[in-house]
Amino acid sequence: MADWVEACGVDDVEEEDVIRFDHGGRTFAIYRSPDDEYFATDGYCTHEKAHLADGLVMDDIIECPKHNGRFNYKTGVARGAPVCVNLATYPVKVEAGKVMIQIG
Amino acid sequence: MAKKRDYSLVGESTRTAIETGLASAEWYHTDVPRKAMKELMQRSDGPAIRDTIIWIVAILGSAAGIAWFWGTWWVVPFLLVYGVLYGSSSDSRWHECGHGTAFRTRWMNDAVYQIASFMLMRNPVTWRWSHARHHTDTIIVGRDAEIAMMRPPDLLRAALAFTGILDFRYSLPTLVRNAFGSISPDEKSFIPEMELHKVVTAARWHVAIYVAAIVLALYLWSFLPLVLIGLPRLYGSWHMVLTGLLQHIGLADNVTDHRLNTRTVYMNPISRFIYWNMNYHVEHHMFPMVPYHALPRLHELIKHDLPAPNPSMWHAYREVWPVLLKQLQYEDYFLKRELPPTARPYRDEFHALTVPAAAE
């Protein structure tokens, strides 16, 4: 059974931005979209080991800081070279001002 | 005696780089607050649309001048301008749009990237991947596919590079080879298998346009079509070489700190327009997400942590020339950039293959 884990407070991440969340030896990226929804993906780019939390969020896109590879952070879909492999996404819910993610 | 460098991407140096952890390593970054970095990374279409309109108008205007004055000496200044716009400024447009940072709108980046790749005789697929590798493993011998001057330096080759002949002689046969479906082992080492068919398709488009230009030249019985398409890669690439060579030559290799292997040079406004601010090259390598128009601001923010930039191209070449001469006899020699007192020191323990002899 996958666990819900508290990742951060709702105000810890700005609108149209991303922060890093480490848990259980893994790293995740927590996003807040321009329309104030929260999303979560794996923290590393699938191309090379770079923290997506250092990247740029534009609308529904996260751009990797190392090679500018782009993913749709809502679906995890890779949006062109140099990223070819999709990003894992995780269910997110907001409870009592906390962003929770479900980690398998 | 030190071991000779093997610049193949599938050879001894490649194995060494992987074994020592130099390949795909963690690199040094100057600390920049997230808020400031987020502002610097912001994309906008405005500056690149403005610059691209100027660029296209200048290209078309100088091309019209060449056609109008063809057969007279008045054509020479137009050739100079057109050649540099076609053969040199296309490099920075290729570069920025390849990173996807020039415009905010994706298709605009892609369109200019494809046009600039054609102008440069570069396969747009191959070079996208080689440049990704260049950023992962900057000047790591055996890994970086874009090392402009290998050691010991071949100075004759460097001089010839200003004429574009060597690049032309390499680029055109490579396009033709790719068009016939042949991908070299080096290319396969950095292009994913699922992308290889795109290399062939892109090469076929490029070759088809060159064939059309040759047919048109034969039909008109005039060199003019080739002077406008293809040959500017020869007579106009000198500015690209002049600025591009300075990015890394003479500096350390096999280190994981861009302050040691990359150079920032202050340049005049015309060169900066042609080069799209890539003279701020340490800044670009540390933070490739920052668009060209924000690099001067990034430079101001982090210069306390970087070696002093060269004040001019002339200064940079004067500084590096004796280093290149010394490398002819002792290829491990390099120029070590001094850091200001405000900078965080180099971490020599991170640079597994840092060589012993350095010019301070």
A81 touches chain B (CB under 8 A): yes
The mean predicted confidence, pLDDT, of chain B is 93
Angle between helices B34-41 and B295-302 (to 10 degrees): 160
Q: For residue A82, what pLDDT is reported? A: 85
Question: What does the alpha-carbon distance between residue A103 and residue A20 come to, in Å, rounded to a whole number?
Answer: 15
| A68 Cα to chain B: minimum distance (Å) | 6
B264-272, long-range: CB < 8 A, 24+ apart: B264/B299, B264/B306, B264/B307, B264/B309, B264/B310, B265/B309, B265/B310, B265/B312, B265/B313, B265/B315, B265/B316, B266/B309, B266/B310, B266/B311, B266/B312, B267/B243, B267/B312, B267/B313, B271/B239, B271/B243, B271/B313
Work out whether the CA dihedral B178, B184, B189, B194 comes out positive or negative.
Answer: positive
pLDDT band at B2 (very low <50, low <70, confident <90, very high): low
Q: How much is the pLDDT for B344?
A: 93
- Inter-chain CB pairs, A–B, below 8 Å: 43
Residue A68: which of B37, B38, B289 has the nearest Cβ? Answer: B289
Q: Give how many domains chain A has, as a whole number.
A: 1
User: What pLDDT is recorded for position B246?
Assistant: 97
Q: What are phi and psi of B16, to 5 degrees?
A: -65, -45
Q: What is the mean pLDDT of residues B26-43?
A: 94
By mean pLDDT, which of A81-90, B82-91, B258-267 is the weakest?
A81-90
User: Tokens in use for A42?
Assistant: 């794996």
CB B229 within 8 A of CB B213: yes
pLDDT of B176 over the 90 cut: yes
The verdict on B33 touching A (C-beta cutoff 8 Å) is: no
Over residues B313-325, the pLDDT tens digits come to 999 999 999 999 9
The distance of A1 to chain B (nearest Cα, Å) reads: 35
- pLDDT interval class at B1 (50, 70, 90): low
Would strands A3-9 and A98-103 be described as parallel, antiparallel, or unpaired?
antiparallel
Q: List chain A residues with CB under 8 Å of B100.
A: 63, 68, 70
- Closest by Cβ to A63, choosing from B37, B125, B289: B289
The number of CA neighbours under 13 Å toward the Cβ of B15 is 2
Nearest Cα residue in chain A from B129 = A82
**How large is the average pLDDT for residues A12-31?**
95
Confidence band, pLDDT 50/70/90 cuts, at residue B356:
very low
* B135 lies within 8 A of chain A by CB: yes
Contact (Cβ atoms closer than 8 angstroms) between residue B280 and residue B92: no
| Polymer length of chain B | 360
Residue owning tokens 């879909």? A77
Question: Binning pLDDT at 50, 70 and 90, where does residue B358 land?
Answer: low
Amino acid at B253: D
Nearest neighbour of B132 by CB, restricted to A56, A63, A67: A67
A32 touching B (Cβ < 8 Å): no
DSSP B308: P
pLDDT in tens, B231-272: 999 999 999 999 999 999 999 999 999 999 999 999 999 999
Predicted pLDDT at B357: 52
- CA-CA-CA-CA torsion sign (B131, B133, B136, B142): negative
Query: What is the pLDDT, as a whole number, of residue B355?
Result: 46
**How many whole angstroms from its chain centre is CA B242?**
11
Residue A62 structural domain: 3-103
C-beta of residue B85 within 8 angstroms of C-beta of residue B55: yes
- Note whether B204 contacts A: Cβ–Cβ < 8 A: no
pLDDT band at B354 (very low <50, low <70, confident <90, very high): very low
Count of residues making up chain A: 104
Residues of A in contact with B129 (CB under 8 A): 81-82
DSSP SS3 for A23: strand
The least confident of A41-50, B209-218, B263-272 is: A41-50
Three-class DSSP category at A100: strand
Nearest-CA distance from A65 to chain B in Å?
Answer: 6
pLDDT value at position A49?
A: 85
> Which residues are CB-neighbours of B184 under 8 A, at least 6 positions away?
B177
* pLDDT tens-digit series, residues B105-140: 999 999 999 999 999 999 999 998 889 899 999 999
Helices (H), B229-310: 232-235, 238-244, 258-261, 269-275, 281-286, 295-302
pLDDT band at B346 (very low <50, low <70, confident <90, very high): confident
| Per-residue CA distances from B224 to A72, B32, B205, B351 (Å) | 46, 51, 21, 52
Pick from B276, B270, B238, B320: nearest CA to B102? B276
CATH at A76: 2.102.10.10
Assess B43–A contact: CB distance below 8 Å, yes or no.
Answer: yes
The DSSP bridge pattern shows strands A92-95 and A98-103 to be antiparallel
User: Is B171 an interface residue toward A (CB < 8 Å)?
Assistant: no
Q: How many CB atoms lie within 10 A of CB A46?
A: 19
Please tell me the predicted confidence (pLDDT) of residue B283: 98
Answer yes or no: do A49 and B24 touch at CB < 8 A.
yes
Of the candidates B128, B149, B139, the one whose C-alpha atom is nearest the C-alpha of residue B244 is B149
With contacts defined as CB-CB under 8 Å, which chain B residues touch A56? 38, 41-43, 289
What are the pLDDT digits (tens) for B288-311?
999 999 999 999 999 999 999 999
Chain B nearest C-alpha distance from A2 (Å): 32
CB atoms A84 and B195 under 8 Å: yes
**Interchain contact, A82 vs B132, CB within 8 Å:** yes
